[in-house]
Amino acid sequence: MYYDEEERVFYMLANKFQEKLGIFLITFDDLDPSKHQFILRWKNKLDVSDANVFIVRNKKKKYKELVVSFKTIFINVYNVCVMDISNIKNVRTLFRHESFQLWESQISGFYLSKNKDFVTINREGINVLTLSANEKRPIIGDSG
């Protein structure tokens, strides 16, 4: 779950709705939870785990994006989806990335706002996925 202080809404990612498995992303008003709206309704009959939700804005607030990540059972895939939520009535998927990830293996993902990167950490190591239109750049650690 993620709280957007500017819009005063909660974003909740659920794996089950009305006894159906899938990916369900719902917004709730912080003062009146009965005011809700579905952003995603992907019925896929698969369990998900290690899910994250982040909101991305630029300084001038020209855009507002939602970054959602999760892994799925059986097909062993870790998904990262970026959606334009600047107009909540017309949500568009801007970017989707899939990578191999064993269901049995834990993975953590987080968004780095400075470079607009999405970083995943699992037992195999660290992966960096750029979510910007910037050119390639080297990634250098503490030890050079």
Looking at residue 58, its pLDDT comes to 77
Each residue of 59-107: pLDDT tens digit?
A: 676 788 999 999 999 999 999 999 998 887 888 999 999 999 999 999 9
Q: What is the CATH number of domain 2-103?
A: 2.40.128
Looking at residue 59, its pLDDT comes to 64
Q: Which residues contact 110 (CB under 8 A, 6 or more apart)?
A: 52, 54, 118, 119
Residue with tokens 């949500």: 91
pTM above 0.75, yes or no: yes
Q: Which one has a higher pLDDT value, 51 or 59?
A: 51
